[in-house]
Amino acid sequence: MADERLRRLERQFRENPPTIVLNKADAFQAAAKFLDHNADSLTIVAALLESIKPGLASDSLIAEIKRLAVEPALQIAAMREAAGTIRDLATEERIIAARATRENERNR
């Protein structure tokens, strides 16, 4: 049993390794990637909701998905815009770090 758990954890780790965050820029990039992933997932859900034919899924399941996917186009746009802003912050953070490094080099 323990061996099976260990194999499952190893497989999960290999398929989805943890994000390595060494500084604020890395954290910003990870957050932007997370938002992009959520926007991609919501895009798929929205497309499925538009194309699903009656009887292919239970009405209660469809109602639950629609309840969670309120205004998907608005949510997707908001997530994409936020991801872009966060990427800009990551870029600014890297520029600040590069300038600080350059200044430290000059002062040696």
80 residue type, one letter: R
pTM of the predicted structure, to 2 decimals: 0.74
| Of residues 86, 97, 103, 99, the one with CA closest to residue 27 | 86
With cut-offs at 50, 70 and 90, classify the pLDDT of residue 17.
Answer: confident
User: What are the counts of helices (DSSP H) followed by strands (DSSP E) for the chain?
Assistant: 4, 0
pLDDT tens for each residue of 41-89: 999 999 988 888 777 778 888 888 888 888 999 999 999 999 999 999 9
- The tokens describing 30, both together, are 């990870």
Half-sphere exposure of 70 (CA within 13 A, CB side): 2
With cut-offs at 50, 70 and 90, classify the pLDDT of residue 18.
Answer: confident
Element (H, E) at 21: none
